[in-house]
Amino acid sequence: MLASPDHTVSLTAPAKINLALHVTGRRDDGYHLLDSLVVFARFGDRLSVTKAAADSFTLSGPYGAGLPADDTNLVLRARDALRRQHGGRATPVAIHLEKHLPIASGIGGGSSDAAAALRALGALWDIDASLTELAALGLLLGADVPMCLHGEALIARGIGEKIERIAAFPRLPMVLVNNGVTVSTPQVFSALTRCDNPPLPALPPLTSLAEVCAYLRQTDNHLFAATQKLAPSINGSMQALIDTNPLLARMSGSGGTCFALYSDDAAADAAARRLRQRQPAWFVVATSSTMEGN
CA gap 151, 171 in Å, rounded: 14
- Bridging pattern class, strands 154-157 and 93-98: unpaired
102 marked among binding-site residues: yes
CA gap 86, 81 in Å, rounded: 9
107 marked among binding-site residues: yes
User: Considering only residues 16, 22, 32, 157, which one is a binding residue for ligand C5P as defined by CB under 6 A?
Assistant: 32
User: Considering only residues 85, 182, 185, 279, which one is a binding residue for ligand C5P as defined by CB under 6 A?
Assistant: 185
Q: Return the number of other C-beta atoms located less than 10 Å from residue 9's C-beta.
A: 22
Residue among 8 and 182 whose Cβ is closer to ligand C5P: 182
User: Considering only residues 159, 214, 230, 270, which one is a binding residue for ligand C5P as defined by CB under 6 A?
Assistant: 159
Examine the residue annotation and report whether 16 is marked as an active-site residue of this protein: yes
CA gap 285, 294 in Å, rounded: 19
Query: Per CB under 6 A, which region of 59-67, 175-183, 185-193, 275-283 contacts ligand C5P?
Result: 185-193
106 marked among binding-site residues: yes
286 marked among binding-site residues: no
H/E element holding 121?
helix 109-124
User: Considering only residues 19, 21, 34, 231, which one is a binding residue for ligand C5P as defined by CB under 6 A?
Assistant: 34
DSSP 8-state class, residue 48: E
Strand partners, 56: 94
Strand partners, 261: 174, 248
Q: Is 160 in the site for ligand C5P (CB under 6 A)?
A: yes
Minimum distance from residue 142 beta carbon to ligand C5P (Å):
4
| The one catalytic residue among 29, 70, 144, 269 | 144
112 marked among binding-site residues: yes
E strands, the chain, in order: 2-4, 8-26, 32-51, 56-60, 93-98, 154-157, 162-165, 173-178, 248-251, 258-261, 283-288
Residue among 110 and 122 whose Cβ is closer to ligand C5P: 110
Please, which residues have CB within 8 angstroms of residue 43's CB and are 6 or more apart in sequence?
A: 14, 15, 100, 101, 176, 285, 287
Question: 122, 61, 113: which is closest to 90 by C-alpha?
Answer: 122
Minimum distance from residue 109 beta carbon to ligand C5P (Å):
11
Residue among 57 and 189 whose Cβ is closer to ligand C5P: 189
Minimum distance from residue 126 beta carbon to ligand C5P (Å):
29
Q: Is 31 in the site for ligand C5P (CB under 6 A)?
A: yes
Minimum distance from residue 226 beta carbon to ligand C5P (Å):
11
Positions in 129-148 near ligand C5P (CB under 6 A): 142-144
Give whole-number Cα distances, 273 to 11, 143, 171, 177, 247, in Å. Answer: 27, 34, 21, 12, 17
**Interface characters, 88-127, with ligand C5P (x: CB under 6 A):** ----------------------------------------
Q: Which residues are annotated as a binding site?
A: 102-112
Q: Which residues are annotated as a binding site for ATP?
A: 102-112
Binding site for ligand C5P (CB under 6 A): 31-32, 34, 142-144, 159-160, 185-186, 189
Known catalytic residues are 16, 144
